[in-house]
Amino acid sequence: MKAKVLKDFKAPDITPYDGTSDPSHYLSNFKNRMYLTDASDAIRCKAFPTTLTKTAIKWFDSLPSRSISSFDDLSGKFIARFSIQKDKAKHAPSLLGIKKGDRKSLRNYLERFNKACLDIQSLPTEAAIMGLINGL
C-alpha cells in the first residue's frame, strides 16, 4: 500500500469484473493491459480493485488487512474465489445438439453452429462436418 503511483499512470480501461464470468479470462485481460503500462507488482495490486464491481468488490473489501503479499497471491485468491464461474470446456459431441429446426432459417442455424464451433478448442474438421450435417 506504500507504493507510489505515478501521476501519469492510467488504470486499464476494461469492463469491471462483477463475479459472473470466467475469472481466468478477466485476469489475463487485466495482466496484459497492465504489462503495457510496465506497472510494478505493487501497482498491479493497487489497480486491480479499481476494475471490480458488485460481488467481486465485496469479496475484495472482505479480504483481511495485510493478507496479500504480491500480485500472484492476489491473483490466486481471486481465481480460487471465482473459479465456479470458469468456462466449461466444450467438445465436438456438443455440436450434435445444435439443430436447424423446422421454422428456423438456414442462416440462423449456420450462425449458431459457427459460434458453437468457435467455442471448441482443436475442433477436427471431420467432426465439424458431421455435426453440421447432423443438424440439418
State the average pLDDT over residues 113-130.
89
d(CA 92, CA 131): 8
Task: Pick the most confident of 35-44, 69-78, 120-129.
Answer: 69-78
Q: What is the pTM of this model?
A: 0.65
Structure-block grid coordinates of residue 44: 498491479
Amino acid at 44: R
Domain limits of the chain? 23-85, 92-135
- 110: Cα within 13 Å, side-chain hemisphere: 3
d(CA 58, CA 64): 12
DSSP class of 20: S
pLDDT digits 0-9 by tens, 12-71: 889 999 999 999 999 999 999 998 888 889 999 999 999 999 999 999 999 999 899 999
Q: In what helix (H) or strand (E) does residue 80 lie, and over which residues does it extend?
A: helix 71-82
